[in-house]
Structure 1
């Protein structure tokens, strides 16, 4: 919903002493009450140190330019030393992937999967994406309430995942389940797993099933799917078991959660800003700028973590070697010094791609153009058949400070 950065004297976001502000609390995102906390930090302490939290001590970067500085300086701020999430990894939970690697290993592994989302292949995939989108939308009920996440967002992203991996199509729901398990916070009562041991067991099951397909592809001539690419490339064909699991998690979550939540969050934003929905209906060509605005406004990945490799300074603060630095993309995308009226959803922005949601530098999201393609096709097809899709109840959000997840959203298409 629309948010305001104006201080509210009754809100703890504005009254708590700065040293007691902890923006890593997952409930802030589950209840959608995070906005004023980040507005306070952007105004009063944009490079903020939290000494105590459930994730230990960490630095927070909340302004656009500071986040960009950290993201592009991979030599100074490492992904490999501590991983990419705020929670510290243990021996049990460490599963390396190319997003948690520094060069040169990162570059070699990322290069393997790049061709599947190259412009030429995306052009070839568009017809299939459009066919499936039409099939899903045409099956939706009219005049009755249904869950948009279950009936649209999950269905479309799961079919896309199955195509990317050339996974047995009739078993594609496993991919969604594995993605949900990979990002689940066991403290969430609705999480599909209740502890790390259960998560590990599910991911080992994933590794067995995907591993069997991986070895089958390695014995076959190279094909244009992710498993075949990994199986035939020198940089990935002999991955250790935990690295295999880590890269599968990265590719499955990257291909599922971010697009899925943008598909849902975009509909919510258009309902919250009815003037923008009306503008879009009157001019469907605005889908081109709608898509990046959805991705900015929703910010499906809330944060990324880096670890300082040596002492440096950001915003007048000294960050020591070994300290944890959190880039809060969700705050940088609301930075009023860079983005005009950032708390408003504006589908015809002059610079719609001015956002942090895909990251920058060597770790910029490898599938960003595929995500945009899926969203563009979805909204083109929605506008071609539905004058309006109404949000008729509250969204149920995921308990997480990493993925800006939406578990369910009741909607209705007027009959």
Structure 2
């Protein structure tokens, strides 16, 4: 490999950025975040941990990211309001948010986790058996299994799987990857597609609840989330209407399918690229130590998360990192990107952050599912579902990828082809 010529000096990201026109700086950073996030984030943490651009403020250190995420009425989810009106994800410390989260936290009982693990494991085995040694993992497993979970556990029975996949994808694409700072050339089309998906999903959920209500009147024994919801009796004063029920059921679908499909593929890809970690993970997969196995999954995801940041809108001037040398005013109206992947590589939080260590304490990995007021409602479900899909794959012999993950230029994986042998003995 050709070395650097004498006198040649590598230009860091920030030095390059300072030579970019201010209006183009965020676009440059966005490209680096997609292609070279870890090196970029390391330089930001060291040299410019609170970076202002015309489009967004980037926050790179863990302690400052925690400050942003701890203050939901200052750093709000207002960017979601145009896309998720009437859903708790567009509300900060409101009555609606408290009501809906409380109800669904009770419905999504942790007592269900053994049932969820068994269902996910059986469905993953079914997908692997049907594919007979060669599988396109995303459409045939990591997207299909969560869709079946939505049907069988959440209770969206009889709703077409392909339609649910289409609605989930359209709405997630708009919500997570079509914000103003994304500057998509097809932004209007993506937004309109999500509106159509919301309308179709709403109609399907209305029909579902009517049908399930009739079924429950004849046989009240069903025990899935829709059944529990329809059996629930709350005082009218709470305002938890059938419309509110449908909004939140839709949120379960939207928050489950593409998220799980992506992080499962990413985490498995990271393991397959690390022979030593893969061998260790395969050994643990054969045991009953689910927590130890999950450490391999979440550590892999640290290197390739669903998204490297959480976005917030600052609604009042705020002094971030007050009293430190990096202290900075975040002005009202600013979009803030809390770089959660950077936090998971911050040496102030993580020992030897560039090493792959499956035994890290869970607080290192917890940002995969958010933090604070808007932490994922189903985080306990994700912590079972995603590792169990990967565990079942690694219980097959000779698992190998035949090509890299193909995202077809978008934010979601579309194809990830694996070959594998029979289930390993024992």
Structures share fold, TM-score greater than 0.5: yes
Residue number in structure 1 paired with 2:375: 364
Equivalent position to 1:346, from 344, 354, 357? 357
Question: Are the structure 2 counterparts of residues 306 and 177 from structure 1 closer, same or farther at C-alpha, using a change threshold of 3 Å?
Answer: same
Q: Determine helix, strand or coil for the equivalent of 2:364.
A: coil
Question: Which whole-Å CA distance do the structure 1 matches of 2:105 and 2:28 have between them?
Answer: 32
Question: Which whole-Å CA distance do the structure 1 matches of 2:337 and 2:145 have between them?
Answer: 31
Question: Are the structure 2 counterparts of residues 282 and 164 from structure 1 closer, same or farther at C-alpha, using a change threshold of 3 Å?
Answer: closer
Question: Which whole-Å CA distance do the structure 2 matches of 1:228 and 1:158 have between them?
Answer: 18
Residue number in structure 2 paired with 1:174: 163
Tell me the CA shift for residue 28 of structure 1.
5.0
Tell me the CA shift for residue 159 of structure 1.
0.8
Per mean C-alpha deviation after superposition, the further-off stretch among 276-285 and 364-373 is: 276-285
Tell me the CA shift for residue 399 of structure 1.
5.6
User: What's the CA shift string for 1:259-298, capped at 9, x where partnerless?
Assistant: 2212101111012222111222344344142233244333
Residue number in structure 1 paired with 2:62: 64
Aligned-residue RMSD, C-alpha? 3.3
Residue number in structure 2 paired with 1:317: 328
Q: Determine helix, strand or coil for the equivalent of 2:369.
A: coil
Question: Which whole-Å CA distance do the structure 1 matches of 2:334 and 2:119 have between them?
Answer: 46
Aligned length: 384
Per mean C-alpha deviation after superposition, the further-off stretch among 388-397 and 357-366 is: 388-397
For the pair 1:158 / 2:147, whether they are aligned, the reply is yes
Alignment of 1:174-323 (within 5 A): 174-184=163-173, 194-217=189-212, 224-228=223-227, 232=232, 235=238, 237-238=240-241, 247-284=248-285, 285=289, 286-315=292-321, 316-323=327-334
User: What's the CA shift string for 1:386-407, capped at 9, x where partnerless?
Assistant: 2x3212222223766xxx6322
Question: Which whole-Å CA distance do the structure 1 matches of 2:100 and 2:353 have between them?
Answer: 36
Tell me the CA shift for residue 359 of structure 1.
1.7
Question: Which whole-Å CA distance do the structure 2 matches of 1:69 and 1:239 have between them?
Answer: 36
Flag structure 1 segments of 5+ consecutive residues without an equivalent: 1-7, 52-56
Note if contact 1:287-1:376 (Cα within 8 Å) is conserved in structure 2. Answer: yes
Residue number in structure 2 paired with 1:326: 337
Question: Which whole-Å CA distance do the structure 1 matches of 2:239 and 2:42 have between them?
Answer: 43
Question: Are the structure 2 counterparts of residues 24 and 175 from structure 1 closer, same or farther at C-alpha, using a change threshold of 3 Å?
Answer: farther
Q: Which has the higher contact order (CA 8 A, sep 6+)?
A: 1
Equivalent position to 1:97, from 87, 102, 111? 87
Note if contact 1:147-1:408 (Cα within 8 Å) is conserved in structure 2. Answer: yes
Question: Are the structure 2 counterparts of residues 377 and 15 from structure 1 closer, same or farther at C-alpha, using a change threshold of 3 Å?
Answer: same
Question: Are the structure 2 counterparts of residues 257 and 173 from structure 1 closer, same or farther at C-alpha, using a change threshold of 3 Å?
Answer: same
Question: Which whole-Å CA distance do the structure 1 matches of 2:334 and 2:210 have between them?
Answer: 40
Would you tell me which structure has more helix in proportion to its own residues? 2
Note if contact 2:314-2:335 (Cα within 8 Å) is conserved in structure 1. Answer: yes
Structure with higher Rg: it is: 2
Question: Are the structure 2 counterparts of residues 278 and 9 from structure 1 closer, same or farther at C-alpha, using a change threshold of 3 Å?
Answer: same
Question: Are the structure 2 counterparts of residues 202 and 381 from structure 1 closer, same or farther at C-alpha, using a change threshold of 3 Å?
Answer: closer
Residue number in structure 1 paired with 2:6: none
For the pair 1:33 / 2:31, whether they are aligned, the reply is no
Question: Are the structure 2 counterparts of residues 9 and 410 from structure 1 closer, same or farther at C-alpha, using a change threshold of 3 Å?
Answer: farther
Equivalent position to 1:137, from 110, 113, 128? 128
Equivalent position to 2:418, from 398, 408, 411? 411
Question: Are the structure 2 counterparts of residues 34 and 205 from structure 1 closer, same or farther at C-alpha, using a change threshold of 3 Å?
Answer: same
Tell me the CA shift for residue 212 of structure 1.
1.8
Residue number in structure 2 paired with 1:5: none
User: What's the CA shift string for 1:99-140, capped at 9, x where partnerless?
Assistant: 221223211111121134322122333322222222122223
For the pair 1:124 / 2:147, whether they are aligned, the reply is no
Question: Which whole-Å CA distance do the structure 1 matches of 2:44 and 2:372 have between them?
Answer: 25
Per mean C-alpha deviation after superposition, the further-off stretch among 224-233 and 320-329 is: 224-233
Question: Are the structure 2 counterparts of residues 312 and 121 from structure 1 closer, same or farther at C-alpha, using a change threshold of 3 Å?
Answer: same
Question: Which whole-Å CA distance do the structure 1 matches of 2:61 and 2:404 have between them?
Answer: 29
Question: Are the structure 2 counterparts of residues 201 and 383 from structure 1 closer, same or farther at C-alpha, using a change threshold of 3 Å?
Answer: closer
User: What's the CA shift string for 1:170-203, capped at 9, x where partnerless?
Assistant: 72222221111112257879x9994433332232
Residue number in structure 2 paired with 1:389: 399
Q: Determine helix, strand or coil for the equivalent of 2:310.
A: strand
User: What's the CA shift string for 1:123-163, capped at 9, x where partnerless?
Assistant: 33332222222212222332x5x422122211111111222
Question: Are the structure 2 counterparts of residues 112 and 35 from structure 1 closer, same or farther at C-alpha, using a change threshold of 3 Å?
Answer: same
Question: Which whole-Å CA distance do the structure 1 matches of 2:212 and 2:64 have between them?
Answer: 43
Question: Which whole-Å CA distance do the structure 1 matches of 2:112 and 2:317 have between them?
Answer: 43
TM-score (structure 2 length as normaliser)? 0.78
